[in-house]
Amino acid sequence: MNFAVSPKATKWIVAVCLVLAGAYAAARLAMEWRDPSHPEHPMDDAYMFYRYAMNLRHGLGVSWNPDGVPTYGETSPLWGLAVLLLSYLPLSATHVLMLGSCLCAAAGVAAISWAVARNAKSGFMRSTWRVLPMVALPLLFTHTYLPHALTGMETMLAAGLAGVFTGAAIGWTNGVCRPETVAGIGLLLFLTRPESALAVVVFAALAGLTGMASRGEVARLLCVFLAGILLDLLVCKIYFHTALPLSFYMKGRHAYEGYHLSWRPLTHALEMLGDCSVFLVVLALFIRGPERRLAAICLTPALCTFCYLVTVTQIMGGWGRYYAPYFAFFIVPSLLVLDSRIASPERQPGETGPRERALYLGGAAAAAACVVLLLGFHRVNAALSETERAIEARPFVYDGVACEIKGKDELPVVDRNVRDVAEFFVASLPAGVSIAASEVGYIGVANPAATVIDLEGLNDTPIALHGFNVEELLARRPDVIWMPHPDYTYQRGILMSSPLLLQQYDLFAGAGGYGIAVRKDSPMRAAIMRQMEIFWRRFYAQYPMDDYVARSVRWSGHKYRAVGY
């Protein structure tokens, strides 16, 4: 079959695809950039990185609060460094975080494309620019990749580093990259997503077991990589007095007892694999015997990491956030298998050449993927998700807390609840005020001079290491307590029903969505109450403020299996 496409036409096709992909992505991102009011763009947790960055700029070290006490709340130190550098731009915190995610998302696509081009055999796919549309176009329409270009989290930085690692690691197995270089890239990935250490170790071990790398080189890679991790743990232990991020203690132990919503890790994993369906179809169609080892050393590390992630409490894990960094482990081997089918030592008269074969096979793969999708792949995926939801252990949740108040109606809850509390209440509180809350990112940026006690322990060493205790919290005498999010059913129950709370605080039931308590003997009470009245008039003008001071709180403490989560 003589299917000839000139080099000039090929360049035009690639250029048009890149322009279309870029225009589509830019249009979606521009809408959020102009009006960043979406409650998940950026995520509340992303603002934690900005607060750390500003404290570092002010000479407080890596600390969460103005007291300068070192706090290991940044699970991703490398992303924290990136946010620090971007914070010097004349942009708001929201736009700094969104810009960082956008840039890393674009760099991630480029890194995955580079990984393919670096290890390609055919002349056609040795160009990163030619590979870019093959990577970018499928990712643009996923439920996992593009949304993370807005969240302000480390996800896209990790995705890019995973692409660089995959490209370098495969190059190492081909003898064109030193094991020390691969180990160094693996360390950067570890400093962005700590669980990626498992993927790095498994990749190196499989490369040795399958004969794709010598045992000596595997040993050198692992020695450098593990030495780097041990050095990091030692430095963190000395500086933070804890070797591991505080989130490890909270999420790894399933510390959030009574959390109302299931994080459904298997469902998120299936969604991410569904987003890779086009690449998995290509892999299934074109893989041959020699390439099975390549697929094994790439896919297995990602799947092993997924197995670990199933054990983690994936709060704030929407859009497969914990799995999205590992796209490269699926995309790179898939396109390299396609590249092997394209490559040809020489072209015989009348034979289809590399460029033509690339377009032909690529079109065939895309058509096959479309057929699979039309036949119900996502329907099957949805069925698998429903099955997973049925068999996954449903969490225990606790009865809600009932506050006795004079008011007859509940206060309304608005969509921008966290931002409204931060902008119209917390931001205007006096410097030095102490606030305890579960949603701490945005309020921490809104009032940098406030001491913020993270009730969920992600930025609070005592709570992370020793657990949440009502008496110990009240002994720290926070001026304001913004009650935990209603999903934390157990924590809300034991805190709000504690007799000490109403003895020491005025609890305004439902204020700020979750309830706000003001300490009765706080030296800043007058200033806090003035701002509370301003906040109340803005959002609850038709509800008398005094009618919502809790007289008593009832909580049964009864727990049961969640239904319909």
pLDDT more than 70, % of the chain: 85
Mean pLDDT estimate for the chain: 87
Q: Are residues 385 and 422 in the same domain?
A: no
In contact, 446 and 431? CB cutoff 8 Å: no
Cα separations (Å) of 69 from 76, 239, 271, 330, 430?
A: 19, 10, 40, 41, 21
Name the domain boundary from 390, 417, 443: 390
Do 379 and 415 lie in one domain? The reply is no
pLDDT, residue 202, reads: 97
Mean pLDDT of 142-165: 92
Alpha-carbon distance of 323 to 304, in angstroms, equals 11
Q: With a cut of 80, say whether residue 448 has pLDDT above it.
A: yes
Nearest 5°: CA angle at 111, between 105 and 114? Answer: 150
Q: Are residues 370 and 461 in the same domain?
A: no
Note whether 368 and 471 are same-domain residues: no
CB 505 within 8 A of CB 518: yes
The pLDDT confidence band at residue 346, using thresholds 50, 70 and 90, is: very low
> DSSP code of 56?
H
**Within 409-549, where are the H helices?**
417-424, 441-446, 461-466, 470-475, 489-496, 499-504, 525-539
Q: CB–CB of 511/536 below 8 Å?
A: yes
**If DSSP codes are grouped into helix, strand and coil, which group holds residue 63?**
strand
pLDDT surpassing 90 at residue 249: no
Instruction: Tell me the C-alpha distance between 14 and 22, whole Å.
Output: 12
Angle, CA 340 vertex, CA 275 and CA 374 arms, to 5°: 30
pLDDT at residue number 97: 95
> Alpha-carbon distance 394 to 261, whole Å?
9
Q: Is residue 214 part of a domain?
A: yes
Least confident of 69-73, 181-185, 346-350: 346-350
Q: H-helix or E-strand containing 480?
A: strand 480-482
Considering the domain architecture, whether residues 304 and 384 belong to the same structural domain is answered as: yes
Q: Is a pLDDT exceeding 90 seen at residue 124?
A: no
- pLDDT recorded at residue 194: 95
Per the listing, tokens 């803005």 go with 538
Distance CA 135, CA 110 (A): 9
**pLDDT value of position 556:** 94
State mean pLDDT over 136-157. 88
> Phi-psi category of 242—alpha, beta or left, where left has phi over 0 and alpha has psi -120 to 50?
beta
pLDDT at res. 216: 95
**Cα–Cα separations (whole angstroms), residue 371 to 144, 314, 359, 365, 374:** 22, 33, 18, 10, 5
Establish if 239 belongs to a structural domain: yes
Distances (CA, A) of 454 to 6, 259, 286, 327, 533: 61, 16, 51, 32, 25
Q: In this model, does residue 364 exceed pLDDT 70?
A: no
The answer on 187 and 166 residing in a single domain is yes
Q: How do beta strands 516-519 and 505-508 pair?
A: antiparallel
Residues 118 and 155 placed together within one structural domain of the fold = yes
User: Does the pLDDT value for residue 467 go beyond 70?
Assistant: yes
End of a domain among 390, 419, 453? 390
Task: Say yes or no: 371 and 513 in one domain.
Answer: no
The total number of residues shown for the chain amounts to 565
| pLDDT of 435 over the 50 cut | yes
Across the beta sheet with 505-508, what order do the strands follow?
A: 451-454, 434-437, 480-482, 516-519, 505-508
| Weakest mean pLDDT among 224-228, 269-273, 321-325, 468-472 | 269-273
In a domain, 92, yes or no: no
- Give bridge partners of residue 559 from the DSSP assignment: 398
The range of the structural domain enclosing residue 538 comes to 402-561
Strands 552-554 and 505-508, sheet pairing: unpaired
Decide if pLDDT at 367 tops 80: no
Question: Does residue 51 sit within a domain?
Answer: no
pLDDT at residue 483, rounded to an integer: 96
Q: Which of 9-18, 197-206, 243-252, 527-536 has the lowest mean pLDDT?
A: 9-18
Q: Pick the most confident of 20-29, 118-127, 143-152, 199-208.
A: 199-208
Q: What is the rounded distance in angstroms from the CA atom of residue 505 to the CA atom of residue 509?
A: 12
pLDDT band at 385 (very low <50, low <70, confident <90, very high): low
What pLDDT is attached to residue 77? 96
How far apart are alpha carbons 44 and 301 in whole angstroms? Answer: 30
Per-residue pLDDT band for 289 (boundaries 50, 70, 90) equals confident
Q: Tell how far CA 355 is from the center of its chain.
A: 38
| Backbone phi and psi for residue 145, each to the nearest 5 degrees, phi listed first | -80, -60
> By the 8 A CB rule, do 327 and 274 touch?
no
Query: Is-contact 523 515, C-beta < 8 A?
Result: no
The number of folded domains in the chain is: 2
All residues at 6 or more sequence positions from 333 whose CB lies less than 8 Å from its CB, including other chains: 283, 291, 294, 295, 298, 299
Angle between helix axes 77-86 and 155-173 (nearest 10 degrees) is: 120
- Quick one: 437 and 381 in the same domain? no
Question: Confidence class of residue 277 from pLDDT cuts 50, 70 and 90?
Answer: confident
Virtual CA dihedral for 198, 334, 146, 201, nearest 10 degrees?
A: 10
pLDDT at 286: 87
Residue that finishes a domain, picked among 330, 362, 390: 390
Q: Give the pLDDT of residue 1.
A: 38
Please tell me whether residues 341 and 422 are part of one structural domain: no
In a domain, 75, yes or no: no
- Does residue 80 fall inside a structural domain? no
- Judge if 340 and 480 occupy the same domain: no
Contact 135, 331 (CB under 8 A): yes
pLDDT at position 254 over 70: no
Transcribe 114-174 into DSSP letters: HHHHHH--STGGG-HHHHHHHHHHHHHT-SSTGGGGSS-STHHHHHHHHHHHHHHHHHHHT
Q: H or E segment at 402?
A: strand 402-404
Q: Find the farthest-apart pair of alpha carbons in the chain and give their distance in angstroms, rounded.
A: 92
What pLDDT sits at residue 366?
56
What's residue 368's pLDDT? 53
* Token pair for 371: 């057929």
Assess contact for 71 and 65: CB atoms under 8 A: yes
Question: How far apart, in whole angstroms, are the C-alpha atoms of residue 344 and residue 95?
Answer: 48
Flag whether 1 is in a domain.
no
Q: Is the pLDDT score of 371 beyond 70?
A: no
Confidence of residue 347 (pLDDT cuts 50, 70, 90): very low
Asked if residue 469 and residue 332 are part of one domain, the reply reads: no
CA atoms in the 13 A half-sphere facing the CB of 108: 29
58: CB partners within 8 A, 6+ apart: none
Is 107 within a domain? Answer: yes
